[in-house]
């Protein structure tokens, strides 16, 4: 069924009786050409592009819970291409271009809103660093505008420009940055994959990976054994456990990242804004809630809820930057389990086991990556070669020293 | 989360700096191959359940602690001084 404005109107006129489920609910088959472990954003987009770009049809996505129930449905939905390092820059640039065509591509409203992202800076040093980042974004073909204090004041008059502890010097505006509806991205890819014949199998937890003579032959699941010559692991915060089923240890530690949302308010914050002192960022959802967050909780954790010190820090930073939000009521807070790598950059690579591939290490930034990660992982699984824009996301880069330390803080698990 | 420091008693999480898994206590010998250093610095078991990691009582006695705790429930099971653990080996 194609979705369209006309369809909405005609369905409205005839009692909305014509809508059908957006995807099938098939039983797992005994064998597939490729198995994708994990029905989050990355798993679903990989399955979609395996079918769309590489003509594969006999594919299953195995999800232990329900589609989109992981981080893809828990994030703060920021989509941007403001990376600096070669390796990251071309990848996120590619991803943003895919985002810009995604709704037409999927025939699904993912509510991609390029409302502009503003990273504030608060010192001469920070300004220099952002100016340099902006130049590298422009060189990559993306957009960046360096705003001075008055430029920021014009766009964001409600910030506290008077406080002296962290004076606002200006901001780097990335006009094509913005947000999207997170669930819709998962649903859109799920529907697109299903329509191309991919079996989306929910409530199916992978409990073992079968390997014979150094080659993957299939997986064990809570719904029985399933054979496949190609298996991709895309389980975000659970990467360590699933990789262990294949005898691997990963350069990953799982940490909790929290987010918060207020009651719905009239439109008040038009952009995505990040505070350069203390970690805080905010946008307003289409429902009106202020959606905001900060840093990870900074210790290894699988609890899908956060700690109080970080709640406090985020609230303090928010009040410092924009005191006007102090009267909004926080409705909910939640946490997601992040797959943190030592250098803060992801991995899309083969493993030492033939036919077994892994896509992980998205840290707190994997939502914007959903289209390009699926695109590149599908390329890798279908052709055996890394895609040009993902060729530096190597699994062994910590061994070889080819780090991608975007923040420049060092390569250690507790730093990013 | 509160961590019972053996020297200071139970203290708020805010007083501590988290360093990472206790793999850091098993430093390879000089001249060990790069793989050993990679395992020491980067590769982790990353368990969902009981883990052992290193914390620094930064805003307290400044001791390095080995904390055995559960990453799912945040229960702290036991804490000892890193120096003691090394001596016990
Ligand atoms: C609070 C918060 C805010 C964030 N904000 C942003 C942001 O603003 N911008 C941005 O770009 N990124 C953001 N992120 C990061 C982003 O959400 C993640 O990097 C990304 O969603 C991870 O990839 P995924 O969608 O595939 O993960 P998930 O949706 O977590 O998918 C993994 C799936 O694997 C399944 N799984 C696990 N183990 C098994 C198994 N054994 N068998 C079968 N299935 C299994 C899980 O159930 C899950 O559904 C944020 C994350 C959080 C938590
Ligand atoms: Zn102490």
CB contact under 8 A, B19 and A411: no
Where does the pLDDT of residue A43 fall: very low under 50, low under 70, confident under 90, or very high at 90 and above?
very high
Residue A15, pLDDT > 90, answer yes
Are A170 and A25 in contact by the 8 Å Cβ rule? The answer is no
What residues of chain B lie within 8 A of the CB of A300, using their CB? 18, 20-21, 46, 51, 53, 71
Ligand 1 atom closest to the CA of A368, numbered from 1 = 11
Are A287 and A77 in contact by the 8 Å Cβ rule? The answer is no
CB of A75 closer than 6 A to ligand 1? yes
Q: How far is CA A297 from CA A305, A364, B5, in A?
A: 10, 12, 20
In chain A, pLDDT over 70 holds for what percent of residues? Answer: 100
**Which candidate from A240, A299, A399 shows the least CB-CB separation from B44?**
A240
- Measure B8 CA to ligand 2 centroid, in angstroms: 4
| Mutational test site, ligand 1, from A75, A221, A373, max ligand atoms within 8 Å of CB | A75
Residue B87, pLDDT > 60, answer no
What residues have CB less than 8 Å from A29, skipping those under 6 apart? A60, A199, A226
- Measure B89 CA to ligand 2 centroid, in angstroms: 22
What residues of chain B lie within 8 A of the CB of A253, using their CB? 20-21, 44, 46
**In terms of Cα–Cα distance, which of A199, A7, A195, A184 is closest to A103?**
A184
Residue A112, pLDDT > 90, answer yes
Where does the pLDDT of residue A113 fall: very low under 50, low under 70, confident under 90, or very high at 90 and above?
very high
**Which candidate from B20, B35, B74 shows the least CB-CB separation from A414?**
B20
Residue A46, pLDDT > 50, answer yes
C-alpha angle A345/A351/A357, rounded to 5°? Answer: 80
- Measure B39 CA to ligand 2 centroid, in angstroms: 29
pLDDT, tens digit (0-9, with 9 covering 90-100), for A272-324: 999 998 789 999 999 999 999 999 999 999 997 889 999 999 999 999 999 99
Q: Give the mutation candidate from A70, A243, A302 for the B interface (greatest B CB count, under 10 A).
A: A302
State residue B86's pLDDT score.
Answer: 58
Place of tokens 């937890």: A205
Question: What is the spatial distance between Cα A241 and Cα A339, in angstroms, rounded to a whole number?
Answer: 11
Average pLDDT over residues A20-47: 97
| Shortest alpha-carbon distance between residue A410 and chain B (Å) | 12
Residue A339, pLDDT > 90, answer yes
Q: What is the full DSSP assignment across A264-321?
A: E-SS---SEEEETTTTEEEEE-TTSEEEEEEEEEEEE---SS--HHHHHHHHHHHHHH
Residue B13, pLDDT > 70, answer yes
| Shortest alpha-carbon distance between residue B73 and chain A (Å) | 6
Residue A107, pLDDT > 60, answer yes
CB of A232 closer than 6 A to ligand 1? no
- What structural domains does chain A harbor? 5-77+182-251+343-400 (3.50.50.60), 113-178+253-340 (3.30.9.10)
**Which candidate from A301, A399, A413 shows the least CB-CB separation from B44?**
A413
Which ligand has the minimum distance to the alpha carbon of residue A279?
Answer: 1
Torsion of CA A382, A383, A389, A393, to 10 degrees: 80
β-sheet bridge partners, residue A62: A37, A201
Q: Give the mutation candidate from A251, A300, A395 for the B interface (greatest B CB count, under 10 A).
A: A300
State residue B84's pLDDT score.
Answer: 86
State residue B77's pLDDT score.
Answer: 97
CB of A78 closer than 6 A to ligand 1? yes
CB contact under 8 A, B13 and A252: no
State residue A93's pLDDT score.
Answer: 98
Element (H, E) at A333: strand A330-340
Q: Taking the domains of chain B in order of start, what are their residue ranges?
A: 2-81
Q: Report pTM.
A: 0.97
Q: How far is CA B51 from CA A243, B44, B46, in A?
A: 17, 11, 8
pLDDT, tens digit (0-9, with 9 covering 90-100), for A235-260: 999 999 999 999 999 999 999 999 99
CATH 3.30.2270.10 for domain B2-81: yes
Averaged pLDDT score across all residues of chain A: 96
Q: Which residues of A touch B (CB under 8 A)?
A: 238-241, 244, 249-254, 298-303, 307, 309, 342, 398-399, 411-414
| Shortest alpha-carbon distance between residue A88 and chain B (Å) | 20
CB contact under 8 A, B44 and A309: no
Q: How many contacts does A have with B, using Cβ atoms within 8 A? A: 75
Question: What is the spatial distance between Cα B87 and Cα A329, in angstroms, rounded to a whole number?
Answer: 52
Average pLDDT over residues A319-341: 95
CB of A40 closer than 6 A to ligand 1? yes
Q: Give the mutation candidate from B13, B15, B46 for the A interface (greatest A CB count, under 10 A).
A: B46
CB contact under 8 A, B44 and A298: no
CB of A182 closer than 6 A to ligand 1? no
- Measure A254 CA to ligand 1 centroid, in angstroms: 12
The 10 Å Cβ neighbour count of residue A24 is 11
Where does the pLDDT of residue B62 fall: very low under 50, low under 70, confident under 90, or very high at 90 and above?
very high
Are A43 and A36 in contact by the 8 Å Cβ rule? The answer is yes
pLDDT, tens digit (0-9, with 9 covering 90-100), for B73-86: 999 999 999 998 55
Where does the pLDDT of residue B89 fall: very low under 50, low under 70, confident under 90, or very high at 90 and above?
very low
pLDDT, tens digit (0-9, with 9 covering 90-100), for A171-225: 999 999 999 999 999 999 999 999 999 999 999 999 999 999 999 999 999 999 9
pLDDT, tens digit (0-9, with 9 covering 90-100), for A139-160: 999 999 999 999 999 999 999 9
The 10 Å Cβ neighbour count of residue A127 is 18
Residue A138, pLDDT > 50, answer yes
- Measure A213 CA to ligand 1 centroid, in angstroms: 32
In chain A, pLDDT over 90 holds for what percent of residues? Answer: 95
């Amino acid at each position: 069924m194609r979705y369209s404005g006309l369809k909405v109107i005609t369905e409205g006129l005839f009692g909305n009786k014509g809508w059908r489920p957006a995807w099938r609910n098939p039983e797992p088959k005994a064998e597939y050409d490729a198995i994708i472990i994990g029905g989050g954003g990355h798993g679903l987009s990989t399955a979609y592009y395996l079918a769309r770009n590489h003509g594969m049809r006999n594919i299953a996505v195995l999800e232990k819970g329900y589609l989109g129930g992981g981080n893809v449905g828990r994030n703060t939905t920021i989509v941007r291409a403001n990376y600096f390092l070669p390796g990251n820059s071309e990848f996120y640039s590619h991803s943003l271009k895919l985002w810009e065509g995604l709704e037409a591509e999927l025939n699904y409203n993912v509510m991609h809103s390029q409302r502009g992202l503003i990273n504030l800076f608060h010192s001469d040093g920070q300004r220099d660093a952002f100016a340099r980042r902006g130049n590298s974004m422009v060189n990559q073909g993306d957009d960046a505008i360096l705003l001075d204090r008055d430029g920021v004041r014009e766009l964001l008059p409600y910030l506290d420009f008077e406080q002296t502890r962290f004076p606002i010097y200006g901001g780097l505006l990335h006009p094509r940055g913005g947000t999207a509806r997170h669930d819709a991205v998962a649903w859109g890819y799920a529907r697109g994959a299903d329509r191309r014949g991919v079996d989306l199998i929910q409530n199916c937890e992978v409990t073992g990976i079968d390997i014979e003579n150094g080659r993957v032959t299939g997986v064990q699941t809570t719904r029985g054994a399933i054979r496949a010559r190609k298996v991709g692991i895309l389980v975000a915060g659970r990467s360590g456990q699933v990789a262990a089923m294949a005898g691997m240890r990963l350069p990953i530690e799982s940490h909790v990242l929290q987010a918060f949302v207020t009651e719905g308010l009239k439109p008040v914050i038009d952009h995505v804004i990040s505070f350069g002192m203390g970690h805080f960022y905010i946008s307003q959802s289409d429902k009106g809630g202020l959606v905001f967050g900060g840093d990870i909780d900074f210790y290894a954790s699988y609890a899908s809820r956060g700690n109080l010190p970080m709640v406090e820090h985020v609230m303090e930073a928010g009040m410092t930057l924009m005191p006007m939000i102090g009267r909004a009521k926080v409705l909910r807070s939640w946490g997601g389990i992040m797959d943190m790598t030592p250098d803060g950059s992801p991995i899309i690579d083969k493993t030492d086991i033939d036919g077994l591939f892994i896509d992980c290490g998205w840290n707190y930034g994997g939502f914007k990556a959903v289209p390009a990660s699926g695109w590149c992982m599908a390329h890798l699984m279908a052709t055996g070669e890394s895609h040009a824009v993902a060729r530096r996301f190597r699994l062994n880069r910590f061994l070889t020293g080819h780090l991608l330390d975007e923040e420049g803080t060092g390569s250690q698990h507790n730093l990013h | 989360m509160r961590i019972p420091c053996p020297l200071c008693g139970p203290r708020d999480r805010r007083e501590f700096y988290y360093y990472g898994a206790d793999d850091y206590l098993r430093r390879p010998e000089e001249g060990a191959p790069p793989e050993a250093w990679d395992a020491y610095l980067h590769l982790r078991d990353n368990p969902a359940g009981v883990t052992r990691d290193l914390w620094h009582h930064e805003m307290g006695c400044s001791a390095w602690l080995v904390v055995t705790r559960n990453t799912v429930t945040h229960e702290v099971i036991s804490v000892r001084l890193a120096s003691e653990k090394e001596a016990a080996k």
